[in-house]
Every structure is written in C-alpha cells, then in structure tokens.
Amino acid sequence: MRLYTVEKDGKRFVAAGYADCEGLWPVKECFGIDADCMLDLVCCSEKQAQLAKFETKPEGEAPLKLADVTLCAPVPNPVGDVMCLGVNYYAHLVESNKAGHVSLEQKGHTVYFSKRVDEAVPCGGVVPSHRDICDRLDYEVELGVVLGKDAKKVTRENALDCVFGYTIINDISARNIQEEHKQWYFGKSLDGFCPMGPCIVTAAEFGDPKGHALCSIINGELRQNSNTELMMQDVPGLLAELSAGVTLKAGTVIATGTPAGVAMGMNPPKWLQPGDTVECKIEGIGSLINTIGE
C-alpha cells in the first residue's frame, strides 16, 4: 500500500493508493481511521493495525483519482530534524574525498548528521535555489525510512519492526555553505531543501530495504545509478547503532545516504541551475520529480 498526503478543495488529508491503479482512498472516510495527518497514522499502533486490513486494494471504484488532488510531501512537517547518513555508499565516499569533503578514513564509522525541514517539498514542487547565498547547488537521491514505533536499543534482527514505510528524499545540498561552515547542517537545511515523496510505501509492500535500484536523472541525463544493496551501513544496522544510545521516536524520518554521481563528483561539476528538472527514482516506490526555482 502507498500512503499519500494530499489536498483537495483546500483540505489536507491522508489517502491510500495501490501500485497498480491511479485511485485514492481517503483513510478517514473510506477506512474509518481517525487520522488527520500522516503523523497521526504513523505514530499510532492501533491506527496502523486498522490500516493493515486494507493492504490489498478494496473492491469497487476508487473514490478519488491521483490526478484530481494536489500532492503534498507524505510527511510535510517532520517531528524533528530529518536524521541523515553521510557518505554511506563507498563510491560516493571516494568522490566526496576527491572533492575535499571527507576523509577516506571515514570508512567503517557511519557519519550521522541532521537536516532541518520546515516544510518538505512535494513531488512536482519547486526547490528554491537560494542564489543569494548558494552558488554550488547539488542533488542526492536517498531512500527515506519512516519509523512507526519508537526504536530504543533495538537489535539488527528486530530493527525493521520499527519501520512504518519508505519514501524518496532528495537531500539537496549547498556545497559552498558546507565547505565554508565546515559542517553540513546549514548547507543542507535551507528552506525547500528536502523534497520528499511522492508517497510512503508500507514496509509490508516494500519488503527488504536491500536490493532496490535507485538513480537520479537531471534534465533527462542519468547521473546517479546504484542499488541500496551497496549501503555501507544498512537500515537494520543504522537503527541498531543509533538506538543503542538515542531513542528514535515514531514519526522520525531518516535519509540513508546517497550513491556516487552527484554534481560535486563531476569534472567539471554540473551544479543545479534554475529551470533544471531533477528526478529521483527508487525501485518499489516510484519517482520524485522537482524543478529548480530562481
């Protein structure tokens, strides 16, 4: 099942969809689940149990069509900062090292940082380029993990029980700000720097987070092209490592790092420009498509 946050007639609500159709079922009206927003659903085990009964498509015609609503990011306002992994694919560690951003010594110890997200940008939305302060704008396709249960001292073996579902995140980055400030928080937290979507695919449908192809395509040109199999720290591993000392609350969104092929790694770098179209694609979820604004 796929879960969308959408707007229609000025009202924002959560609706369920299915891989093989364009229909949408508002969860409150159609499934009787009392959830006003995605976090109401994601943070409540009773509502998740109600939802699980609808994992297969209901019989009959869908009440709404995807084309007739406005898409929002699935979690438009995350509860805290989005937690992020840095250089989690070896080939991206190598290209980041060449660009002077990280030491190869980092291999073996996962890099964690966070990203402030005031309002996540939906699929189809515009990413502001902040040209007054940013002259090196970059893209990063990443598998996003949305927790549906608090994770505290989980093991590798039971870590995935805490996952509600998966989405696509584009960890937009201002490389000049990262360099100037010697850390990543500011350069990755500018308003509009977290496109997310188009939906959350439930953990039951997505299956093992390993083995999903992911890529980014800029103005039709394939740039990043990898597979989640190649993460150095995988999803169970990162949940076990982090939750050994940090309670990860239900509703937490985690961006699991990006593979090689970002603009910073190219010679010469092809920084994002106003008018560019950025498509981030993950097998089993779909495409997150955004344009770069002024």
Q: How far is the CB of 287 from Mg ion (least distance, A)?
A: 18
Token duo for residue 123: 């699929």
Q: Which stretch binds Mg ion (CB under 5 A): 6-14, 62-70, 170-178, 238-246?
A: 170-178
Any idea of the CA torsion for 267, 288, 189, 165, to the nearest 10 degrees? Answer: -120
Cβ burial, residue 188 (10 Å; 0-12/13-18/19+):
buried
Q: Which residue, 15 or 82, has its beta carbon nearer to Mg ion? A: 82
- Contact status: 138 vs Mg ion (CB under 5 A): no
The partner residues of 138 in beta bridges, in order of sequence, read: 173
CB of 140 to Mg ion, least distance (A): 4
Among 95, 138, 140, 276, binds Mg ion (CB under 5 A): 140
Q: Which two tokens stand for residue 96?
A: 């980041």
Shortest distance in whole angstroms from residue 47 CB to Mg ion: 31
The angle formed by the CA atoms of residues 76, 288 and 190, to the nearest 5 degrees, is: 50
Site size toward Mg ion (CB under 5 A) is 3
According to DSSP, the β-strands at 277-282 and 196-202 are unpaired
Q: Is 146 helix (H, G, I), strand (E, B) or coil?
A: strand
Q: How far is the CB of 171 from Mg ion (least distance, A)?
A: 3
Provide the minimum distance between the beta carbon of 201 and Mg ion in the complex, in angstroms, as a whole number. 20
Q: Which residue has the CB atom at the shortest distance from Mg ion?
A: 171
Stretch near Mg ion under the rule CB under 5 A, chosen from 5-13, 27-35, 158-166, 250-258: 250-258
CB-side neighbour CA atoms (13 Å) of 174: 25
- Pick the closer one to Mg ion by CB: 171 or 234: 171
Only segment of 26-34, 103-111, 167-175, 265-273 that touches Mg ion (CB under 5 A): 167-175
Among 258, 271, 276, 288, interactor with Mg ion by CB under 5 A: 258
171 is an interface residue for Mg ion by CB under 5 A: yes
Question: How many Å apart are CA 281 and CA 151, to the nearest integer?
Answer: 28
Peptide bond into 26 cis (omega under 30): no
Residues lying near Mg ion in the complex (CB under 5 A) are found at 140, 171, 258
